[in-house]
Chain A
Amino acid sequence: MTDHIPVLIIALPLLTAFILPIVGMINTRLRNILVFLVIAAVNLMLISLVQRVSIGGEVLHYVVGAADPLQVIREGLDFPIRIVLKIDGFSLFMALISGVITFVVFLFSLSYIKEGERKNYYQLLMLLIFVGMLGMEFTNDLFNFFVFLEILSIASAALVAYRTDRKHPPYAGYKYMLVSAIATSFLLMGIALCYAQYGSFNIDYIHGMMKYTLLDKMALVFMLVPLAMKAGAIPMHMWVPDTYSEAPAPISALLKTASMASLYGLFRLSFSLFGNPLEGGGMNYHTLGWIIIVMGVLSMFVGVTMALVQNDVKRLMAYHAVSQTGYMLLGVGVGIAVHAQADGGSAFKLFGRVAMMGGIFHMMNHAFYKGLLFLTSGVMARRFGTRDLNRMVGLAHRDTFTTVAFVIGALAIAGIPPLNGFSSKILLYESVYQFSPLLSIIAIFVSVLTLASFMKVFYSAFMGPERKDMIIDATPVSKGMILGMSILCVLVVGFGLFPDLVVGTIVEPAIESLVTIL
């Protein structure tokens, strides 16, 4: 049975989503238990793989529908003929992030979203976003990747528009839908260009055959730009503030993780599909690295400056999400730029590796503290019936737990030790400084601005006198919400206190599997 774990991780939540409308008709309590069980089971399966994949360095393959699921290429053939799933360190790392955040979001939504027939659909779509992320992370097939990206996009768009009784959410959902449709159709064009040349969708196979013709470079553009768009990097970030701010708070946290899956695609394709070996030849990898770096620096700087002027708490957090995405792009961009340099990879060994480690570790940290911040923003917005910071005051008097959670999240995003944001940012600052001091200084400066911006939120929403007349919804924070937030709090603090443990166990294998090019 252990051979089938890769496909079970995707298929179990899918089966649950399919039967959820029927279960929801029977009993809502049963439905909640079922969804809880399946998310927990997937998380357990993912954790059980850590021993084999991350620590043992094994790469798991699964050929869907073949007579022998473990044999990637049949005897007598040179190419795979079916869809292949592949789990290596980086896939597992991303899947762990998705699993944790989905679990937390489920706990938080239990009482945050009102019970009713629409909640069946809410949980169903939430599960399918999870499936989409897992599929994108596990597949080794370009078209399959596209299909799961489509699942993720459409389910997210529907959930962004969940609150149809208000004016803006349907527009935000429509905008997200439109942006995703454009992005995915260009991605499909890129995939078609690869298929037209090599007659296969398998990433490893295409990489082995890659001839770096002009068409391949076009395919690179058509694949990386849409994925950067879905990840919310700067020239294509216009959908981020609208979507994240109008979606229900737990969905904003989930969307952030979903955009991380696109970022995974960007990194994965630029290495595993287009990456060339250290001996050089083929593509100019230095330029690609610099393009990603410039995109990252712009995202960092523009995101944070836009966030400083916001008065809407969720818009502010959404711009910070853009800004933090810049850090990940910067780290991995530096890694790509020095990876295939003429010095035989000595610069990469010296600092490029650490930069990538920082960028990728930051993905995990960011998902956790940003998820936490979005969840607290849900409590804030519900209490005051508005997202406007000018009309919030004195929340610390009544919601002590939320206040603590917010402070932890805000300090983590600003990179204050000993929280997890610091542990990944210090890796980035030190390594990027050796590549180019200016970039490192910009990164530190952006962190300072981030702190300033979150101080503003803290002072206006949590400090000040207690004003009972401004509170619209006084229902206490439920146990599920507290449990969800406290899981993230523990992870944020724990990863800050023991970063070496996390980096050694799952981040280093992730880098290893990403940069090892066969």
Chain B
Amino acid sequence: MRLASFLSLVLIAAFLFVGILRLHPVGEPLGNPDVFKDRGDAITDIKNVDTMDDYYLRNGQTETGSNNLVASVVFDYRAFDTLGEATVLFIVVSSISMLFFTMIKRKGPETSGVSRIGEFPGGVSRVITFGSFLLYILIITFGIYLVVHGHLSPGGGFQGGAVMASATALLLISSLMTRNVQKTKKIFSFFESLGLTLFIGIGFVGIGVSFLSNFLANGNPLLFGKAIAFGPNPGYLVSAGTLPLLSLAIGMEVFFGLSIILVTMYHAAKDE
């Protein structure tokens, strides 16, 4: 049996290896080379593109007003996939809440605010709690920065949310968040749902054009509609239309969702 599994592994590996050898070389453009020959630098002309990724590279920045092309793909061209991915995270959070529910219920609500982690008889040392509190503020600030600048610099909702959730982990281990698990979870769950509802709500508002369309881009500068030029530039915080809003919604969902997972698992695992 072990030999059979080893052989099948080797077979699949060989199969994949043959495939890799025949893949398109990295860095070479796909599509018709004649299209790429004579187009120079001044391009935002959609007739001059031959493949989908080439279209994104040429037109993504001006069309969506986002300097971060990854964000323009994630939150505009393929926003429907992002909605799906956010749903996957939502499912995971809901499943964990559901499956660990009986485990936490059985232990009952936490009566004392004192954690059993740490060697200090009355709880965790003040150095740790205060230090964590200071770090908490810093991490949250950095996370918010990443979320808000998602359309300008590397980062965005998913990354910023994950950074902020790591601050929740810090609060947990420094025993600043041990009281009343169920209530904490309810508040987190409310804000998680709110974030997702905001995301899909923006999608529904866009239905005047089409679902999840970027109806604010290149419109009113007060409503995130400032247009930007092609090429390297610092960009504006109020550009890119619905992109920053969607990024904010995702950031909220990821932060509260991951926090629910952390709180649930911490309380389920603590006494074992």
Contact = CB atoms under 8 A, between A and B. Distances in A.
B220 interface: no
A11 interface: yes
B98 A121 contact: yes
A155 B23 contact: no
Nearest to B48: A76
B52 A18 contact: no
Given A15-B197, A79-B52, A199 B91 contact: no
Nearest to A63: B210
Contacts of B53: 199
A81 interface: yes
A234 B46 CA distance: 49
B209 interface: yes
B99 interface: yes
Nearest to B50: A78
B95 A158 contact: yes
Interface in A155-175: 155, 157-158, 161-162, 164-165, 170, 173
Interface in A120-148: 121-122, 124-125, 128, 131, 135, 143-144, 147-148
Given A18-B90, A66-B210, A199-B53, A117 B76 contact: no
Contact of B193 (A18, A66, A80, A151): A18
Nearest to B207: A4
Nearest to B96: A158
Nearest to A78: B50
Given A69-B210, A82-B77, A117-B101, A18 B19 contact: no
A64 B30 CA distance: 25
Contact of B189 (A8, A21, A83, A118): A21
B23 A154 contact: no
B136 interface: no
Interface stretch (B78-86, B150-158, B160-168, B231-239): B78-86
A65 B77 contact: yes
Contacts of B211: 4, 7-8, 11, 62, 64-65, 69
A298 B55 CA distance: 47
A237 to B, nearest CB: 17
A199 B51 contact: yes
A56 to B, nearest CB: 23
A131 B196 CA distance: 15
A408 B3 CA distance: 48
Contacts of A15: 197, 200-201, 204
Contact of B210 (A67, A79, A161): A67
A4 B210 contact: yes
A107 B4 CA distance: 47
Interface residues of B, number: 60
Nearest to B75: A65
Given A4-B207, A62-B210, A162 B98 contact: yes
Contact of B94 (A68, A121, A200): A121
Interface string A2-30: 00100110010011011111100100000
Interface in A205-243: 213-215, 218
Given A65-B76, A118-B101, A199 B95 contact: no
Q: Which of A7, A21, A25, A65 has the most CB of B within 10 A?
A: A65
Contact of B186 (A25, A121, A155, A193): A25
A175 B200 CA distance: 32
A149 to B, nearest CB: 10
A196 B84 contact: no
Interface in B71-123: 76-81, 83-85, 87-88, 90-92, 94-95, 97-99, 101-103
Given A4-B211, A11-B204, A18-B196, A161 B99 contact: yes
A98 B192 CA distance: 28
B138 to A, nearest CB: 30
Interface string B167-188: 0000000000000000000100
Contacts of A77: 46, 49, 55
Contact of A81 (B31, B55, B214): B55
A397 interface: no
B81 A170 contact: no
A284 B18 CA distance: 20
Contacts of B80: 64-65, 83, 144
Contact of B95 (A20, A80, A121): A121
A18 B200 contact: yes
B213 interface: yes
Interface in A34-90: 62-69, 74, 76-83
Contacts of B88: 147, 150-151, 154
Interface of B: 15, 18-19, 22-24, 30-31, 46-47, 49-56, 76-81, 83-85, 87-88, 90-92, 94-95, 97-99, 101-103, 186, 189-190, 192-194, 196-197, 200-201, 203-204, 206-207, 209-214
Kindly list the 8 A-B residue pairs having the minimum CB-CB distance in the complex, ordered from nearest: A158-B95, A69-B210, A147-B84, A121-B98, A199-B51, A18-B196, A7-B211, A64-B80
9 contacts: A11-B211, A64-B212, A125-B95, A147-B85, A154-B91, A154-B95, A155-B91, A165-B102, A213-B22
Interface of A: 4, 7-8, 11, 14-15, 17-22, 25, 62-69, 74, 76-83, 117-118, 121-122, 124-125, 128, 131, 135, 143-144, 147-148, 150-151, 154-155, 157-158, 161-162, 164-165, 170, 173, 193, 196-200, 213-215, 218
Given A150-B84, A164-B103, 19 more contacts: A11-B203, A11-B204, A14-B200, A17-B90, A18-B193, A25-B186, A62-B211, A65-B80, A65-B213, A68-B210, A77-B46, A79-B51, A81-B55, A151-B88, A155-B91, A157-B95, A170-B99, A199-B52, A214-B19
